[in-house]
Structure 1
């Protein structure tokens, strides 16, 4: 090659370098940098196609960042190059190959032949001494890359690495400012309510819009099963959401360990499942972050994109911050739900208990340890003609109508001793006798102290009246039986004595004696009348006699 030709070639390289530098300096978005490079570099370097792949630190593999001049079928092949080539690239060395379409040692020769690829130059993209990706230049004509072309391409690759890294840095700084504002706004929104559904839906609706992504899902750990269950989602079809459980995905395992997981190539990455469903939904990249409250992991949030996306550190940090803030709000909402459920259960139990108490015909009063009324049943309110609000919280001694002066209160005794107490009280109400059967039972707290006392009061006045009537009937039956027996026992000797006395009177000659015998006969006839009454009596009445003595009068 002549000196002039060499100078022209070097001038051409310089112009290409300047053009590439100018182009990549025009944009700051790393994705735009990659797209611009693969679109313009083939024209400048006289190659047919170019690809840029970025290193995914999570899987230590290279995932496609941008491509031009190649079919989707070729780009979706299983690998990139041979193990030896990849090892060389990881050591920072370029690799040039020709005849890849017919090389029997090249594992993708059939794919290269179908695509018409003859030569490939693979270059590591290095930034600050670290491999961040690889760039491949491909030709459909056999071409042997010269050392100068390879050296120049390495320089371009390094410049592209700087541009991609600078773009990432700028994007992260720009995102950090925006994300800081959005974290505050999301925090304000989700902490302004205790409704769990509103909190979850706010997060999945707002976060994808803020981060420029397709969709978002939140799955929460269920304490009963320790399994993740879908709690909220946006931007995804029902078919995709019903694809099945994801609990066996490696990305989920990592997230549940507290580590965010970025998946660049979701349709092919082994850390996720259901690749066919992912392809059908058009998902390309996934970011999974744990939802935490302190050290406790309560769920997983996932962000999904429809374009291949290399998640930046600021995006991961922002999503993690939102997830942690969400964790606090979610846990507060869950706690509020539990409290509401508990209160509802308590209210339901109170209603059930009140219904049972109201169904009883006894009057029931429940008092606390300070002897204040906390509950009464309907029978009590009806009997005393009082309103419940007028009774609750008032001292027990001020509201009960059955207090007896001079006798110890059974409720106070139960509160003091913790032992059940039962007694029967006799009162006079509006001039009428009243009998009340009172039973008081203690209710203990967890420490064995009397917390409440329950008193049941039953009006047994009618029962007492029936018992008194029964006693009177039994007494009457006894008197009647006794009177009948006495009358029977007296009648026989009395009638015999009366007949004898009558015969004796007839035999008396003196008038005086006959008159005395008439007196005896009259008395005996009175006795006969008395026994007759005794035999025929149906009742009796007590009446006063001499002193404190009482006698009965037959009816």
Structure 2
């Protein structure tokens, strides 16, 4: 049996796994095991990037000890830069190569050679797949291509699982908000729960809601989560570009708040630890009555289904405000009607 046949059989096996109800972890485990089997390796490991810590975290591995995996985490930024330049990193003599660290640990683990390729999702390197050999090995182009293809399958599996999980979380968030609106007319409570739930569900650093004060023309803070008092004090202006456009009914996405020309308070954003953000209008009866802002502590791409849900949540917030306002008006009308009836009765 040729090496090409082995590679073909491996991909057939993985493709079949995609069509079954296999879990993400099972699929990632299958990928690292397949790399070892098809390439006669000693071990393999799939790492995912932790954006906040800027390190790669092992998510699936075979053949490596815990002591080796957790000795010194891979620095994500340096590895990603090298991978984006070369497309792969090959180390025929991993125990002495000056580009690598922890030579003693590699010798103790029995690692002779190392091949690392990127795990890419939507043009972003979210992780790496590494193959380790027990004897020194010069990696051939077909071996490198095979491992890169395996890494692509890993990226597909991760993205598919993330999409399903995200849709489930968004659906539950929307359901919780609808339930909150139906069960409470305390608008402060509803909006506070909304900002807290969005933070937790979407992994945001902070969320705030401001409503337009028509008398003063400013944006009044009504609910927030995860943001400092100092930062909240600077956000009442309606003259910033993001606020102006949101109040006209537009949703704005800022990928890097520290450099984007549309952001006026860049230093405040940087100090607060904000990188990416979404600004969306809150509507009631097709009229913009406020703004909801979502802040991320790491640079993020916001997929279309998330943007749709964020706008829907903002509309639901507007509906909650509208319901509460109508209830208060009905209570006032009822009181006025009772007073009017009583005054008529007093004539007799």
Structure 2 residue aligned with 1:220, among 209, 215, 224?
209
Count the aligned residue pairs. Answer: 294
Which position in structure 1 is the counterpart of 2:281? 292
Shift of the 133–74 alpha-carbon distance from structure 1 to 2, 3 Å rule, reads: same
CA contact (8 A) 1:74 1:115 kept: no
Does residue 51 of the first structure (1) align with residue 54 of the second (2)?
no
Deviations along 1:389-430, one digit per CA (max 9) or x if unpaired, are 5899x9xxxxxxxxxxxxxxxxxxxxxxxxxxxxxxxxxxxx
Does residue 147 of the first structure (1) align with residue 141 of the second (2)?
yes
1:153 deviates by 1.9
For normalisation by structure 2, the TM-score amounts to 0.55
CA contact (8 A) 1:254 1:261 kept: no
CA contact (8 A) 2:94 2:112 kept: yes
* SS state at 1:199 partner: helix
Which position in structure 1 is the counterpart of 2:223? 231
In structure 2, C-alpha distance between the alignment counterparts of 1:64 and 1:272, rounded to whole Å: 26
TM alignment of 1:302-341, pairs within 5 A: 313-330=304-321
CA contact (8 A) 2:292 2:314 kept: no
In structure 2, C-alpha distance between the alignment counterparts of 1:54 and 1:120, rounded to whole Å: 19
Deviations along 1:438-461, one digit per CA (max 9) or x if unpaired, are xxxxxxxxxxxxxxxxxxxxxxxx
Deviations along 1:359-400, one digit per CA (max 9) or x if unpaired, are xxxxxxxxxxxxxxxxxxxxxxxxxxxxx95899x9xxxxxx
1:290 deviates by 3.7
- Structure 1 residue runs of 5 or longer lacking an equivalent are 1-6, 234-240, 264-270, 276-285, 344-387, 395-555
Shift of the 65–184 alpha-carbon distance from structure 1 to 2, 3 Å rule, reads: same
In structure 2, C-alpha distance between the alignment counterparts of 1:111 and 1:336, rounded to whole Å: 67
In structure 2, C-alpha distance between the alignment counterparts of 1:101 and 1:151, rounded to whole Å: 24
Shift of the 115–95 alpha-carbon distance from structure 1 to 2, 3 Å rule, reads: closer
User: Radius of gyration: which is bigger?
Assistant: 1
* SS state at 1:79 partner: helix
Does residue 190 of the first structure (1) align with residue 190 of the second (2)?
no
For normalisation by structure 1, the TM-score amounts to 0.39
Once superposed, what is the RMSD of the aligned Cα atoms? 5.7
In structure 2, C-alpha distance between the alignment counterparts of 1:73 and 1:245, rounded to whole Å: 39
In structure 1, C-alpha distance between the alignment counterparts of 2:205 and 2:45, rounded to whole Å: 33
Which position in structure 1 is the counterpart of 2:260? none
Shift of the 82–181 alpha-carbon distance from structure 1 to 2, 3 Å rule, reads: closer
* SS state at 1:110 partner: coil
Which position in structure 2 is the counterpart of 1:40? 33
TM alignment of 1:485-496, pairs within 5 A: none
* SS state at 2:281 partner: strand
Deviations along 1:467-487, one digit per CA (max 9) or x if unpaired, are xxxxxxxxxxxxxxxxxxxxx
TM alignment of 1:124-273, pairs within 5 A: 124-125=118-119, 135-139=128-132, 141=134, 142-164=136-158, 167=161, 171=164, 175=167, 183=174, 186-187=177-178, 189-190=180-181, 193-203=184-194, 218-221=207-210, 231=223, 245=230, 258-259=251-252
* SS state at 2:137 partner: coil
1:167 deviates by 5.0
Deviations along 1:299-352, one digit per CA (max 9) or x if unpaired, are 335699xxxx9976434432442133224434775x689999xx9xxxxxxxxx
Shift of the 302–26 alpha-carbon distance from structure 1 to 2, 3 Å rule, reads: farther
CA contact (8 A) 2:195 2:208 kept: no
1:76 deviates by 5.3
1:144 deviates by 2.4
Which position in structure 1 is the counterpart of 2:92? 98
- Structure 2 residue runs of 5 or longer lacking an equivalent are 234-239, 257-268, 333-341
In structure 2, C-alpha distance between the alignment counterparts of 1:208 and 1:114, rounded to whole Å: 40
In structure 2, C-alpha distance between the alignment counterparts of 1:9 and 1:254, rounded to whole Å: 59
